[in-house]
Structure 1
Amino acid sequence: MAHEWQQWGECVIAKERAWVDGLPILGSIWLIGAIADRLWFAIDQSVPAWDQADYLTGALNYWKALQAPQWFSGEWWTSFWMLSSKIPPFVYISTTPFIGLFGAGADQATLVNLLYGAVLLASVYGLGIRLFSVQVGLWAAGLCLLLPGLYAIRLDFLIDFPLVALVTLSFWCLTMWWLASDETWKVADRWQPQATPQPLTDIAQASAILRFQSFGGAMPMRVMPWLWAAAFGVALGLALLTKQTTLFFLLTPIVWLGAVSIGKRRWIKLIQLVFGLAIALYLCFPWYRTNWLLILTSGKRATIDAAIAEGDPPLTSLAAWTFYLTELPRSVSLPILIIALVGLVLYWKRAVVSREFAIVKGRLVTSVDYGGLRHRGYRQDVYAAWWQSVRWLLIFLVGAYFLCSLNVNKDDRYIAPLLPVLAILLAQGLVLFPDRLRLFRWWAVGLAALLMGLGLVPSGMVPPLSDTYQHRAVLADNWHHADVVNDIIQTEPYLTSTVGVLPSVPEFNQHNLNYFGALRNFQVYGRQVGTNVRQVEQDARSLSWFVTKDGDQGSIRRPEAQSILTAAIAESPEFQLQNSWALPDRSQLHLYHRTVPTVQVKPGTGESAKVRLEQVRVPNQVAPGQPMPITYRWSGSWQELRSGLVLLTWHRDNERWFHDHAIALGNLQPSANDDTAQFQVVERLAALPPKTAQGTYTLKATYLNRETQETYEIAVPDLRLNLAANAPAPAPQEPDFVTQLRSLATKMPTGMKELSVIFEEINRLNQYDPVQDYVAQARQILDYRLQQEPQNREFAYGLALTNVLGRRVEPAIAALETVVKLDPTNPNAYAYLAFVNLYDFRPKAAQAAINAALALNPNLPELHTLNAVSGLMQGNLVQAWQEFRRNN
């Protein structure tokens, strides 16, 4: 028995170390894939579509932020996580080194996929070895290059391929942790090398003893499960920082192993699992904590609304649950699928028919190459180990399939993280295919490779194949994004510009124009407008640049609004055609510019660094309560102009109203010129006098530096503004964004009935100002104003709103505490304070505000909703249940 045990043990050790022998082949597989991918990118000249361009811009945003990091600043970290509020940012962050090394182009950014490709192949190889053999690991890695569902996303800059790699890495680490059983080192402690080996009744125990011997002591065996649990936690945390749908794939195996640990009272394993999950939570918590509300509110639009718009089948239909099953042949290549399934079925049938199929319950063990050794129960052990490995893969695959199908929004690439694990099962089927028929195995792989090639070559070189994935390279193609951006920058070299983009086709849309603008130092932004009929006129009055297109307009949510705005811009005397270009689809692209720009900047004269107000032009008489045209002409050094907020107070006796804003509306480029150079800025804006204003007003101006908080008075030209109710109404104009935001803030005391209107308008303003700088301007202005007038309730509400919009939690709470002091009889003020405290997970502080509000108005429905949430956060389930029943 001792000799037999030793011979068998040597075979186990050989397998433990055999993975090293396959590394050169694995590296060759990765290199072949890398060369093929880069060759495809060299041929392809297409422009990024919607998602690709959006993700590329996200990577540029993080690259820009990391040029001057402030590692020890909490405010910097908050702004860092807010750069991507809806999509987890790990892919963006991991791309920044490639941008720094190779450049900011789309092809350069996709180099990050080589890194994730290496992670994927290593993870698949590791899983294949651990569950089956080196041969299976290598075949599975090779299949990952050929599966259409994987190579289609590998050739784009999408978060899906990195997600595939990180989910597979997490599953590998989870598997290795479970196999590194906490009980194996107990066996090792009891075993003495010089003692006579005892008969082994468990493959895992024998393997554990030999692994113990190879590590040379008991302590490494005690540590290994903890190391794998930590590795799993890191991988899971990074996967959750890549996409929330990570849980669709890993939740089932995690719950399964947790349940097994509890059921078998393996408390050490349970502690290790919790340890790994805690590491994952630690890694991803800062981003989720900062953005959790936007994640929830955008979830409906990204799933339910998108599913309705795309015509996805409802969950009550059979099609919803068979959608991915019917797509499976296209995702894995039909030849490979057929041959692999035949191999699996033949092996399973042989195991069942021979009645040597044994199931070892409760333990996942690996199949072992016995090297020809035969002993009693040999075949049963092999089949049992094989079935345990297959069952573990099926737990992952079935659970992932069910949870992905439960998502109403269906797309082939949403289930891509399932494919590498499926590739391991398919590779096992290919390996198990009878040796006498091995030609069919290579025939399947060769045909899959041929189909992949035919689906990637440029259009026109081969006829299209209907049932295969096609991600064809595009030859020379110019959709003139760079020309549009160049034209805008040449026309307004000192300004940051936002372009209203009307078409939305894959080759030209708001996202890829925005990306090309980001490549030019973020000087041009593209935003989609014309999506709401009620806002068409505001869209036309709020932007100075628009792009329209003839022919196919693409995926437009509201075609009627888009066509109205397109016609209005083309026919309006306020716009002139700046340039036109012929497009590859034989249509025309048109760039329009406002005839009289809202802001003009040109070099000036003088030596004073301080800002001067050289001219103010107003109508002879204007009606109160209506936007009135007003022109300011400022001059000064570039630094002072770029950093300047101007506090403009129109006053008459004890009455006053304000037209505060940033010089040039905050659109001066940060590094366009020498800071001491003199410039002149002309602003053609619309102010908004209050409805109660009457009589003659004069102007007082104060300069506030946004960076240093320095202030000084600005001399004002001698002028008078006459407001009269019987004055003729001016032509419709849009007030500047800061004025609109302050006007919206005055509606806050009325509560929920106005709150939805406020945020609808803010969403519109955010389209016009892509970086939401108008919010930061308003916040600094109102903070200064409130310091000067601490009892001004309007300033307090406005400051609270701007802090909430900026997700500045501590300042928002402080501002709302000021609000409740200045408006102590308004339950809505307490409700706002309670909400922000709940947002920051402070249920006790929120409860105090809720109680005060309920004392003022116990019939306000929103208070009871907040009370239910507060009770839930505090663990008071009775309170939460009572409030839930009350609201339903």
Structure 2
Amino acid sequence: MQKFTLDRAIFHLQSVRQRPALQLFAGWAVAAVVDRLWLTLDRRVPAWDQADYLTGSLNYWHAFQTPQWLSSEWWTQVWLLSSKIPPLTYIATVPFLNLFGTGFDRATLVNLFLSAVLLWSVYGLGRHLFSQQVGVWAALLCLVFPGLVAVRLDFLLDYPLTAATALAFYSLTLWRDRPESWLRTIAFGLALGIGLAVKQSIVLFLAVPLLWLTLELCVSRQWTKLLQFVVGLGSSSLVCGWWYRTNWLLVLTASKRATVDSAIAEGDPALNTLSAWTYYLQHLPEQASWLLLAIPIAGFVKWRLSNRSSLSPSPVLPRQSFVWLAVFLLGAYLLCSLNVNKDLRYSLPLLPVLSIALAWGLSAWGWRTRWLTAAVVAVLSVIPLQPTTEFVPAMTQAYVGLPFPHEAAIEEIVRTEPYLQTTLGVLPSTSTVNQHNLNYYGALSNFRVYGRQVGVRSEDVPQDVRSIDWFVTKTGDPGSVPSAYSEIVETVERGGEFALHRQFPLPDGERLNLYHRQQPWVTVTLQDAPGVTEGVALDSVLVPPRVPPGSPVPVTYEWSGSWESLRRSVVLLTWRQQIDEKTIAEPAFWLHDRSIASGLLASKPLQVAERCPKTGILHPDGQSDFDSCTFEISETTAMLPPADLPPGTYVLEARYLDLNTGQAQSIEIPSVAVEVDLSAPIISAPELDWETQLRQLAKALPQGTSALDPVFSEISRINQYDPVQGYLDRAIASLEYRLERDPDRLDWAYTVGLAWVVKKRPDKAISVFERVVALDVNNPYAYAYLAVVNLADWHPIAARNAIETALSIDPSLPELHVLDGIASLMVGNLWRGYRELRLGLSAMAESS
């Protein structure tokens, strides 16, 4: 065995210095071990953003379980899974969820891969601009920056964005400084596309370097390289183009809410204050640590002083490299400060590039100073990670105290209603109890429970309470809640419709309260009868004998059938007037088309260990074969006879529409009739089913823009109750079936068009609104809607045709000029676009 000596140790250290890959791997491995140990110990639940992103990764994981790689429809659905946030982080997480299972700790494994990308990019950039030593130290600094350590231990988009920004800037720098190369051009474009597919805010960090480089190429007249640059920018669409094409309109319209509205809600400093422009500078020591700022800055001073006093030649400052770093850092800092929504996470992509400058300053010191600084910072970075039994949301200490009850609450809901998909109304909004993390744990439970924040507006509280069967409240501080919070809590806890189902202790000594409706609107039971394999049966209908027109009417339907038949169907219910055979006029009617159980039947019911009565087959694992079972469903809802309905007796007709085949067949129903009487008293009723509400809202669309805000406000409320928006598919299926037989019903056509728009499918809505304009030929708003969906699907010429027709009907509508301006810009007619936009926007401003 060789004896340890200082010379031998120095020899081994020097050999390691010559192998940067080994140094980087060692740093990555040590950081990975520390991270995984911390995550193993930590028992906290994800906060708002983290839980939202984790749910997004689960949505993509679920979609990629049954991929249809050659189906354009499947890809469109994939891009729509995340309409506001680019999906690359979610997609990159899918392989880790496939390999290691679902859950917070497993999802954060993607950060190991991102750390490798970050280290490689920073090392490469530092080596290219300065030296191998600077590259290695810059990469290692990224492992110990407190700001990066905090997000590396979490599931946020900021760490992927940091890695993607470093990769894109490294690729851009290589292309800038090397001879003309189409391969590097495409590499830069793909790297930029990766960044854009992670988060749109990468533009804040790369916009100034891209503009700087454009000016450089134009001034130096490097036209070939400028062409390459343009091609590189265009090639980024190969990575992110399809998502942006599908969601571009929502990305633009949601930007105000994500920036201005959030800044106002969080009390961020206004841009006309000094604090708005010094915010990130003031907090830089928190992100990079005072020590890692002070020692490198002192290194710059030391280099400068030694350069002045030394009689021997000193190393030349790589001025061009520092200018390039300054272009990135100053430009990104100014644009980040210009963003009114401030958060320390939003400036993290600055740190990798800053680390290169700091590493150069650190290299001015001897190896002892460098390693001592790194060791002290590493220790200081680990100390805040130490375990604690007291949960503090803002700290990075590993919480090892009592577990949070989120999983237990979700399990209790699923156990109580094993056959239903449940919407859970979440009333508090704290970092530990909020709609996002309860929704995430519901997604972990096979997407059986969806958490949604309700009770936001006082006027919506009655509908919220009537539409949801489960609510969560908590004792103590409810967090950042809307003004209607106390009103809906009072209604749930003391209104009499809900009972406290169960309480769960929280680590801070407070309690989580789970409330359930005492008489649920939908109940599902196994039926003690032979199994059915085809269709469904309507066994009973309970409805008041006399009802007034124009008011909701309570009705209870009792269905039976096999699970798949009940779940995949839409029932076409028509209440038709009984008339004398000699009457020539068509009988009046109203619709109550709906899905059974309001579409809440779970796709995969909980496999309870019980045998179907009489017919069930017991699997070897002790669970029932539900395909051989008969289920009975009782649902209480409300229907709406139109206000102009003529009095008389109305009887029920029913057909079963199979969503898989599109085939309809009659259903045997009990004899039931209801008398519509103008003098009948108004009867207390539940909330109207969602399909009926959608049909009622669509009737306002011919009124134009004045009706849009109320319509979409109500749809946003309904979407909270049905998180998967299945009611839209059912409304489309039922009304398309009816329109085939009665094609002149304008209100039905508007409803189908509205449903496709809410589903973010302008490609499907185009043909529907073409049908609308054929029926509503003199309404300029009908053509405006057709123009909007054409613009949303990138058909500006078709949109222009619709706009011209609308302008010929009513040229005074300012909205038409705005649409004309947008369409003109999309076809490249900049002057007309500017003119029409200015005309339309000024007219809208005057009218408001």
1:691 alignment partner AA: A
1:455 aligns with 2:384: yes
Q: Give, in angstroms, the shift of residue 447 of structure 1.
A: 2.8
2:3 corresponds to: none
CA distance in 2, matches of 1:310, 1:785: 49
1:234 corresponds to: 190
Q: Give, in angstroms, the shift of residue 884 of structure 1.
A: 3.0
1:579 aligns with 2:502: yes
Q: Give, in angstroms, the shift of residue 383 of structure 1.
A: 2.1
1:615 aligns with 2:540: yes
Give the one of 120, 123, 136 matched to 1:122. Answer: 120
1:566 aligns with 2:519: no
Give the one of 359, 365, 374 matched to 1:427. Answer: 359
2:530 alignment partner AA: G
The 1:461–1:756 alpha-carbon spacing in structure 2 relative to 1, beyond 3 Å, is: closer
CA distance in 2, matches of 1:355, 1:109: 57
Give the one of 523, 530, 538 matched to 1:600. Answer: 523
Q: Give, in angstroms, the shift of residue 19 of structure 1.
A: 9.9
SS where residue 547 of structure 2 aligns? coil
1:294 corresponds to: 250
CA distance in 2, matches of 1:477, 1:259: 59
CA distance in 1, matches of 2:388, 2:268: 29
Q: Give, in angstroms, the shift of residue 349 of structure 1.
A: 5.2
CA distance in 2, matches of 1:228, 1:771: 43
CA distance in 2, matches of 1:352, 1:782: 84
SS where residue 499 of structure 1 aligns? strand
Instruction: Decide whether the 8 Å contact of 2:193 with 2:240 is kept in 1.
Output: yes
1:743 corresponds to: 696
CA distance in 1, matches of 2:269, 2:209: 27
2:342 corresponds to: 410
1:283 corresponds to: 239
CA distance in 2, matches of 1:725, 1:317: 64
- 1:439-838 correspondence to structure 2 within 5 Å: 439-459=368-388, 470-556=395-481, 558=482, 560-604=483-527, 605-608=529-532, 609-652=534-577, 653=579, 654-672=587-605, 674-693=626-645, 694-838=647-791
SS where residue 576 of structure 2 aligns? strand
Instruction: Decide whether the 8 Å contact of 1:610 with 1:640 is kept in 2.
Output: yes
Give the one of 329, 332, 337 matched to 2:293. Answer: 337
Listed as ranges, the gaps of 5+ residues in structure 1 are: 1-16, 183-224, 357-377
Q: Give, in angstroms, the shift of residue 271 of structure 1.
A: 2.0
1:404 alignment partner AA: C
Q: Give, in angstroms, the shift of residue 460 of structure 1.
A: 7.0
1:525 alignment partner AA: Y
Moved more, 133-142 or 57-66: 133-142
Listed as ranges, the gaps of 5+ residues in structure 2 are: 1-14, 580-586, 606-624, 843-848
SS where residue 575 of structure 2 aligns? strand
Aligned-residue sequence identity (percent) comes to 48
1:41 aligns with 2:39: yes
CA distance in 2, matches of 1:352, 1:258: 37
Q: Give, in angstroms, the shift of residue 80 of structure 1.
A: 0.5
Instruction: Decide whether the 8 Å contact of 1:152 with 1:469 is kept in 2.
Output: no
Equivalenced residues, count: 797
CA distance in 2, matches of 1:788, 1:637: 29
CA distance in 2, matches of 1:230, 1:881: 34
Q: Give the RMSD, CA atoms, in angstroms.
A: 2.0
SS where residue 410 of structure 1 aligns? coil
CA distance in 2, matches of 1:838, 1:879: 16
Q: Give, in angstroms, the shift of residue 576 of structure 1.
A: 1.4
CA distance in 2, matches of 1:351, 1:263: 34
SS where residue 614 of structure 1 aligns? strand
SS where residue 31 of structure 2 aligns? helix
CA distance in 2, matches of 1:518, 1:612: 32
Q: CA offsets, 1:48-103, max 9 Å, x none? A: 11111111111010000001111111111111000011111000000000001101
1:154 aligns with 2:152: yes
Q: Give, in angstroms, the shift of residue 226 of structure 1.
A: 2.0
Instruction: Decide whether the 8 Å contact of 2:388 with 2:401 is kept in 1.
Output: no
CA distance in 1, matches of 2:238, 2:94: 22
CA distance in 2, matches of 1:354, 1:886: 68
1:729 alignment partner AA: I
The 1:833–1:354 alpha-carbon spacing in structure 2 relative to 1, beyond 3 Å, is: farther
2:627 alignment partner AA: D
Q: CA offsets, 1:507-555, max 9 Å, x none? A: 1111111111111100011001111111111111110110111111011
1:25 aligns with 2:23: yes
Q: Give, in angstroms, the shift of residue 877 of structure 1.
A: 2.7
CA distance in 2, matches of 1:469, 1:697: 62
CA distance in 2, matches of 1:878, 1:123: 43
Instruction: Decide whether the 8 Å contact of 2:548 with 2:676 is kept in 1.
Output: yes
TM-score by length of 1: 0.87
Q: Give, in angstroms, the shift of residue 703 of structure 1.
A: 0.4
1:859 aligns with 2:843: no
CA distance in 1, matches of 2:672, 2:838: 62
Q: Give, in angstroms, the shift of residue 21 of structure 1.
A: 2.4
The 1:469–1:720 alpha-carbon spacing in structure 2 relative to 1, beyond 3 Å, is: closer
CA distance in 1, matches of 2:290, 2:530: 75
2:282 alignment partner AA: T
2:92 corresponds to: 94
The 1:763–1:354 alpha-carbon spacing in structure 2 relative to 1, beyond 3 Å, is: farther
Instruction: Decide whether the 8 Å contact of 1:330 with 1:469 is kept in 2.
Output: no
Instruction: Decide whether the 8 Å contact of 1:455 with 1:469 is kept in 2.
Output: no
Instruction: Decide whether the 8 Å contact of 2:820 with 2:837 is kept in 1.
Output: no
The 1:780–1:25 alpha-carbon spacing in structure 2 relative to 1, beyond 3 Å, is: same
CA distance in 1, matches of 2:133, 2:464: 61
CA distance in 1, matches of 2:257, 2:305: 47
CA distance in 2, matches of 1:273, 1:456: 44
Q: CA offsets, 1:635-663, max 9 Å, x none? A: 11111111010000001141010000111
Q: CA offsets, 1:812-870, max 9 Å, x none? A: 11000000001101111001001111111211111111111111111112111111212
CA distance in 2, matches of 1:662, 1:353: 85
CA distance in 2, matches of 1:840, 1:721: 46
1:306 corresponds to: 262
Q: CA offsets, 1:117-161, max 9 Å, x none? A: 000011111111111111111111111111011001000011111
CA distance in 2, matches of 1:734, 1:610: 27
Instruction: Decide whether the 8 Å contact of 1:479 with 1:508 is kept in 2.
Output: no
1:204 corresponds to: none
Instruction: Decide whether the 8 Å contact of 1:497 with 1:524 is kept in 2.
Output: yes
CA distance in 1, matches of 2:446, 2:390: 38
The 1:18–1:133 alpha-carbon spacing in structure 2 relative to 1, beyond 3 Å, is: farther
2:58 corresponds to: 60
Q: Give, in angstroms, the shift of residue 345 of structure 1.
A: 3.0
The 1:731–1:351 alpha-carbon spacing in structure 2 relative to 1, beyond 3 Å, is: farther
The 1:600–1:48 alpha-carbon spacing in structure 2 relative to 1, beyond 3 Å, is: same
Q: Give, in angstroms, the shift of residue 354 of structure 1.
A: 7.8
1:317 aligns with 2:285: no
Give the one of 69, 72, 89 matched to 1:71. Answer: 69
2:620 corresponds to: none
1:872 alignment partner AA: L
- 1:382-421 correspondence to structure 2 within 5 Å: 383=316, 386-421=318-353
